[in-house]
């Protein structure tokens, strides 16, 4: 049977970079489910469909295809109607569109089987908000990865500046706070620690320490040893 690690937590806690590295070390596939919500957010933005529950959003879901592919290095790409949109979904605007679109129950239902199927045949670390609570409630390992909002905003700010984007720390912090609020207050599958999860707070940990901690939690749960 394949092994599933459910990794949930708020935006900017470092889930993706930490999980990518841990997955490589453990020879698991890393699945970033946020990319799926981002791709649907992008589809809605492109077509001028408002990110609220509506027949228009349901029609949109019937018209598009969203998929994740992995190259030989195990790196993920997200495809919207066959187009690789992995780069286009990483702007602050796309983040906000994803946060809004992800509150819509029809969108969450649309992505459920796709996510579950990915964990059926391969060992995965699946990163999201509701992986341990909804998508893979039987995952052998559930981790809730978090950090203070200021630390998360600071990291994201650095990332975007390094990519040459013109952003302000204050705006990023406000975005983080707003997205936390959206993600934890929505009615369907809100962000919350899953029952039986291990909470890891990375506010005071650097990247390498965070990776080590995650790997040791996974090994301990699976093999019963550090």
State the minimum distance, in angstroms, from the CB of residue 173 to ligand DC.
15
Q: What is the per-residue DSSP string for the chain?
A: ---EEEEE--TTSSHHHHHHHHHHHHT-EEEETHHHHHHHHHHHHHHT--SSSSHHHHHHHHH--EEEEE-TT--EEEEETTEE-TTGGGSHHHHHHHHHHTT-HHHHHHHHHHHHHHTTSS-EEEEESSIIIII-TT-SEEEEEE--HHHHHHHHHHHHHHTT----HHHHHHHHHHHHHHHHH-SSS---PPTTPEEEE-TT--HHHHHHHHHHHHHHHHHS--
- Binder of ligand DC out of 4, 13, 18, 33 (CB under 6 A): 33
Q: Under the criterion CB under 6 A, does residue 128 sit at the interface with ligand DC?
A: yes
Q: Under the criterion CB under 6 A, does residue 99 sit at the interface with ligand DC?
A: yes
Q: Under the criterion CB under 6 A, does residue 155 sit at the interface with ligand DC?
A: no
- Binder of ligand DC out of 4, 104, 130, 211 (CB under 6 A): 130
Binding-site residue total for ligand DC (CB under 6 A)? 15
Q: Under the criterion CB under 6 A, does residue 11 sit at the interface with ligand DC?
A: yes
Give the residue with the Cβ less far from ligand DC, 17 or 216: 17
Q: Under the criterion CB under 6 A, does residue 142 sit at the interface with ligand DC?
A: no
Q: x-or-dash pattern for ligand DC, window 180-199, by CB under 6 A?
A: ---x----------------
Give the residue with the Cβ less far from ligand DC, 74 or 190: 190
Residues that bind ligand DC (CB under 6 A): 11, 33-34, 37-38, 95, 98-99, 102, 128-131, 179, 183
């Amino acid at each position: 049977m394949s092994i599933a690690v459910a990794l949930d937590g708020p935006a900017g806690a470092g889930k993706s970079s930490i999980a990518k590295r841990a997955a490589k070390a453990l020879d698991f596939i890393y699945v970033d489910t946020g990319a799926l919500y981002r791709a649907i957010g992008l589809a809605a933005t492109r077509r001028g469909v408002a990110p609220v529950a509506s027949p228009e959003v349901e029609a949109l879901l019937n018209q598009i295809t969203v998929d994740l592919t992995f190259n030989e290095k195990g790196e993920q790409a997200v495809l919207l109607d066959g187009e690789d949109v992995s780069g286009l979904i990483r702007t602050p605007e796309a983040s906000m569109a994803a946060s809004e679109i992800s509150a819509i129950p029809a969108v969450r239902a649309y992505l459920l089987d796709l996510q579950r199927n990915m964990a059926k045949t391969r060992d995965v670390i699946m990163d999201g908000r509701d992986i341990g609570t909804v998508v893979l409630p039987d995952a052998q390992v559930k981790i809730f990865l978090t950090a203070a909002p200021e630390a998360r905003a600071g990291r994201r700010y650095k990332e975007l500046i390094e990519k040459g984007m013109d952003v302000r720390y204050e705006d990023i912090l406000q975005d983080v706070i707003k997205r936390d609020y959206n993600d934890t207050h929505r009615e369907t599958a809100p962000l919350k620690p899953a029952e039986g999860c291990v909470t890891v707070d990375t506010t005071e940990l650097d990247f390498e320490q965070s990776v080590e901690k995650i790997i040791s939690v996974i090994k301990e749960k699976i093999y019963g040893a550090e």
